[in-house]
Amino acid sequence: MNERDMNYSVLTKRLMMSILVCTAGGVLCFIFVMRRMGDNPLGMALSIFYERLLIGLSIGFCGSIRLRPWVRGGLLGILFSLLWSLVFLCEGRILLAVVHCIFGIIYGIIADLLASSWSAGASRH
């Protein structure tokens, strides 16, 4: 396997793992929002799911950034979670804003740690 194919394999595995983890987190957030939020939560639930998916996609592509995986994942998680957290803050739902950011950080860290370890295994073969 040449170097280009190996880099492609590492990126593919990294993307698959990070998107898988954040999609699972997005499904959990979707279920929570649909059960707990207001009269018509579908739009909010779908956009939060999409936000979690973007966290996974960005983590998959940002493996070359020279930070520890937990730092990189946490930063990307909070970066994408800030949008809805700001909306919640403007609505006066401070606890929901904080919890939303915390879960974004958690999903980002888990996704980056798993993607980094799984893709590191691909680069050794």
* Mean pLDDT value across the chain: 89
DSSP state letters, 26-85:
HHHHHHHHHHHS-S--HHHHHHHHHHHHHHHHHHHH-TTS-S-HHHHHHHHHHHHHHHHH
Q: pTM for this one?
A: 0.86
Confidence grade of residue 10 (pLDDT, cut at 50, 70, 90) = confident
Task: Specify whether the CB–CB gap between 26 and 52 falls below 8 A.
Answer: yes
Segments making up each domain of the chain, as ranges: 3-124
Say how far apart CA 106 and CA 19 lie, in whole Å. 14
- Decide which of 112 and 119 is more confident: 112
Angle at 51 between CA 26 and CA 68, to 5 degrees: 90
Say whether pLDDT at 106 is over 80: yes
